[in-house]
């Protein structure tokens, strides 16, 4: 299938590792002791204050694969271990203000503005633990495996008997017997079993407190000194809870996001940039994907995936057009609206306003269907603007591709 149809929903909230660990710390979850630094001298001070046998220095970027990344300062690796605080200062000097390129970053890399200076701990055993919302159970479920530190999907495929689940009653919370059973299934023995059960209960407290949809700890580890520690965690949040999680959402780090995606999110639009030249302006994710496919079928290439959603307002239509025309790759715009909840006349008014105010320079093909469509077609035809109407999606795609061929 064409590459651009592999669209995953953009995670609204992006937190850096140190931010997730701070949230965990605040809920009484055991994490490595750490400090955050923005300068090399701060990193050096932090390393001295830790008074740790060994220190781990981590560049803070959202992309994965940091350990194997390369900085444009020449430094290799975004994660370093050392016993000497002075080395932490030197390494931080080669990280901060420089771009780190990993397998998940753009080619030019991502500028590192913050580093985390943490106590390095030995891990004698790694387990996997997560709490997530499960539709089939109508609520949260705990998932655990004694096989941690690796891709959990691989464990599930190769040894499904090593995946353990506990359904949580949303009114009761995690019961003692459930937490202890999960700790035992994860392989914690003796006093570590109770310690792990306590960590599990605290992770559930965090899950509720921040309106998470998922808290995944991989690995939930055991140290040679007999401590249960959450070494790495990924937290996903419910976008709909933003109104009561203002402090959490204020931490959103958009510096690494596509600026167009960030701007779209401000207007409640879902935008994903692609590498073609026909901009798509659609309501509904399914229709957007179908539009991308039909453009491809007729020999064109979509420049983006833009989903207006249901309760669209005229100013969102204007904002969407502004976004699309800001992309220099765009050579034509295809509007494909199927009005159910959406009033086509609102779309038509938004389109005419945007065309006039933005002085649209590229061909515009519009296909409207559904609620108030006759009024919408009247608005467009009386506007005097060079808008090409289409009868259906197939016709619209052909006309958009043809418009580019003419130019």
Catalytic residue check, 17 = no
277 among annotated binding-site residues? no
232 among annotated binding-site residues? yes
Instruction: Report the largest interatomic distance among the alpha carbons of the chain, rounded to a whole angstrom.
Output: 80
Query: Which residue among 4, 17, 18, 128 is the active-site one?
Result: 128
Query: Which residue among 17, 193, 216, 331 is the active-site one?
Result: 216
14 among annotated binding-site residues? no
Q: Give the single-character DSSP code of 126.
A: E
351 among annotated binding-site residues? no
What 3-state DSSP class applies to 216? strand
The Cα 334–Cα 305 span in angstroms is 11
The Cα 62–Cα 79 span in angstroms is 13
Which residues touch 384 (CB under 8 Å, ≥6 apart)? none
Q: Are residues 158 and 73 in contact, defined by beta-carbon separation less than 8 angstroms?
A: no
342 among annotated binding-site residues? yes
One DSSP character per residue, 138-168 reads TEEEEEEES--SS-HHHHHHH-GGG-EEEEP
Q: Where are the alpha helices (DSSP H) in 27-109?
A: 40-50, 85-95
User: Which residue in the block uniquely carries the two structure tokens 């990924």?
Assistant: 234
Q: Are residues 98 and 75 in contact, defined by beta-carbon separation less than 8 angstroms?
A: yes
Catalytic residue check, 128 = yes
Q: Are residues 112 and 99 in contact, defined by beta-carbon separation less than 8 angstroms?
A: yes
70 among annotated binding-site residues? no
What 3-state DSSP class applies to 302? strand
283 among annotated binding-site residues? yes
Tokens of 179: 């937490």
Q: Give the single-character DSSP code of 242.
A: G
Q: Decide: residue 1, CB within 10 A, 0-12 exposed, 13-18 middle, 19+ buried.
A: exposed
Q: Are residues 332 and 303 in contact, defined by beta-carbon separation less than 8 angstroms?
A: no
The secondary element (H helix, E strand) that includes residue 7 is none
Query: Which residue positions form the known binding site for substrate?
Result: 283, 340-342
Query: Which residue positions form the known binding site for GTP?
Result: 32, 65-67, 121
Which residues are annotated as catalytic?
128, 216
Query: Which residue positions form the known binding site for Mg(2+)?
Result: 218, 232
Query: Which residue positions form the known binding site?
Result: 32, 65-67, 121, 218, 232, 283, 340-342
């Amino acid at each position: 299938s064409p590459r651009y149809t592999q669209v995953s929903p953009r995670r609204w909230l992006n937190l850096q590792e140190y931010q997730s660990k701070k949230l965990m710390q605040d809920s009484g979850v055991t994490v490595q002791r750490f400090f955050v630094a923005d300068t090399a001298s701060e990193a050096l001070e932090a390393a001295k204050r830790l008074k740790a046998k060994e220190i781990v220095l981590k560049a803070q970027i959202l992309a994965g694969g940091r350990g194997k990344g390369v900085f444009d300062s020449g430094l290799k690796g975004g994660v370093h271990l050392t016993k000497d605080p002075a080395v932490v200062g030197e390494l931080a000097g080669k990280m901060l203000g420089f771009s780190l390129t990993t397998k998940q970053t753009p080619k030019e890399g991502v500028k590192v503005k913050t580093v985390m200076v943490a106590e390095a701990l030995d891990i004698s055993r790694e387990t996997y633990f997560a709490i997530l919302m499960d539709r089939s159970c109508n609520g949260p479920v705990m998932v655990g495996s004694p096989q941690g530190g690796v891709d959990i999907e691989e464990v599930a495929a190769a040894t499904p008997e090593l995946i353990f689940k506990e359904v949580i009653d949303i009114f009761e919370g995690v019961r003692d017997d459930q937490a202890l059973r999960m700790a035992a299934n994860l392989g914690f023995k003796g006093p570590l079993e109770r310690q792990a059960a306590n960590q599990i209960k605290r992770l559930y407290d965090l899950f509720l407190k921040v309106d998470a949809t998922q808290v995944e700890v991989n690995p939930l580890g055991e140290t040679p000194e007999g401590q249960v520690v959450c070494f790495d965690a990924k937290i996903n949040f419910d976008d709909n809870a933003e109104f009561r999680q203002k402090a959490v959402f204020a931490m959103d780090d958009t510096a690494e996001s596509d600026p167009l995606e960030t701007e779209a999110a401000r207007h409640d639009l879902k935008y994903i940039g692609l590498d073609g030249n026909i901009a798509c302006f659609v309501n509904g994710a399914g229709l957007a994907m179908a539009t991308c496919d039909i453009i491809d079928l007729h020999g064109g290439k979509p420049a983006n995936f833009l989903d207006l959603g249901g309760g669209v307002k005229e100013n969102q239509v204007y904002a969407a057009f502004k976004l699309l025309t800001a992309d220099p790759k765009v050579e034509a715009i295809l509007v494909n609206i199927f009005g159910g909840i959406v009033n086509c006349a609102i779309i038509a008014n938004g389109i005419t306003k945007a065309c006039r105010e933005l002085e649209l320079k590229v061909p515009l093909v519009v296909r409207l269907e559904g609620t108030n469509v006759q009024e919408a077609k009247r608005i467009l035809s009386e506007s005097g603007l060079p808008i090409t109407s289409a009868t259906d999606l197939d016709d619209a795609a052909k006309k958009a591709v043809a418009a580019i061929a003419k130019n």
